[in-house]
Structures are given as C-alpha cells and as structure tokens.
Structure 1
Amino acid sequence: MPECFYRVSVKALVLDASRRFLLVQEDNDWWELPGGGLDFGESPREGIRREIWEEMRLKTTYVAGTPSYFFTVKNHKGVFIANAVYETKLAHLDFVPSPECVNVRFFSPQEVLAAANMYPNVRVFASIFDKEARSD
C-alpha cells in the first residue's frame, strides 16, 4: 500500500447507561471496537451494519449520520488506519459467536487503558473518550 493511503475503518460506539462502550473480543483474546474496514463504494452506515451483522449476527437500530470521533492510528500489523466512530444502537446483545467475536463486554476508558490485550485503536479511542468525559 502506498505511503499516502490509509485504510478506512468504521467503528460502532455502543454505550450503556454508565457511558461504558462495547468492545468485542476476537478469538485471539484481543478486544476491538465493533466494526471494520469500509468496502469500496459502501457508505459508513452500510459498513457498520454489515460488519456488525458479519461479526455478531446482530441488527442495528440506529447508526448516526456523522462520526462522533475520527482519529488515525498505526495498527498491530503496521498499517495506518483512519478510524471513524459512529454512535450506534443495537436491537439486543444476544450475539452469535464468530472468530471476530467470541465475547462482548462494556468497558470504561480506565479498564481499557489498564488491560494488556487491547488493539492500538481501542487504546487511542479510550484516551480520547476519557479526556472528553473529564472535560464535561
């Protein structure tokens, strides 16, 4: 991939009543925000709906029209990723396990930052989310 390109990743921000955010645990034991790479010609909303269905067999009831957060990060494979994070609501959390999702759990930013098995983008997001929460 040329140096001037970023892979675009759309992520779902699913919050609980305590403003903790949902993460999915992959079969390698690492935690990730729900979502994934945006396919060519796909809208961000379509991408989030598709990824959540593919990973967890869950239906979305709402995906915001614009991202709540946008940041770039180098992933664990050394690829630069542009992450657009959209507020999302799910019909329920009764997911079907897959290699990309063996568990789901809500985390606080502090829990993410203290854990070892978080992907780099999750750590960056937790830092941004925590900083914003502290300024409210």
Structure 2
Amino acid sequence: MAMRIIRFFLGQCILFFNWLTFPKPPQQSAAAQAQIVEQLKGLTLYHYRACPFCVKVRRALARLGASVAMVDAKRDTAAAEQLLAGGGRLKVPCLRIEQQGEVRWLYESDDIIAFIEAKLS
C-alpha cells in the first residue's frame, strides 16, 4: 500500500513539472504541418500518462511539432492487450510502426525519439 501511495505521488509530481515546463511546438505553416502528419502516418505511441520515459517522448514530439496517435495502455485494457500481443511485452513507451502492410514495435524512449527525428529529416 505504501508503494502505491509513493508511486501515485511521484506520478503527480512528474505530471505537474511536465505541465509547468512543457515545450511549445515550433511555428509552422499549414503545408509544413501537413507534411509532418503525412510522414508520421501509421505511427501509434502506446504510453502511460505519468511514466517519465513516456513524458520524455511526448515532450520530444512537442518540440518537433510532431503528432502521432497515442493510446494510454494503462487506462485502455484493449490497448494493453494489443501491446502485449503485438509487441510481446507490456512495456511503455512503445511505438507501433505500420508501414507498407508490415507492423513493427519499437521500445525505448531514445530509440523512439531517434526514429521520429529520422522520419522528419
């Protein structure tokens, strides 16, 4: 019970400091934003709201002005089952990459950020 309270408190601290310091997306034209959306089509981020590594990925997305579909695997049991069935692990953050009919699952926040940065360059 004590660990649950500590995890809850830490999660709330993470969310509060993320809210205070959340990066502003870059100003882009509508055409540039449409191009980013097209480049990131087929990506879905499985995350937990208060996970520090998930926060890291969401902040990187904001800094890049990128948006991908997001699924909270903690609150959505169907999403958690998809993550476990497809990726093989119930671990977040995880990026589901669907390209040309193939599906890959990418774990690790640094790898996810590097993949998205490479897609946008």
Q: TM-score, normalised by structure 2?
A: 0.24
| Higher share of residues assigned helix | 2
Q: TM-score, normalised by structure 1?
A: 0.22
Q: Which has the higher contact order (CA 8 A, sep 6+)?
A: 1
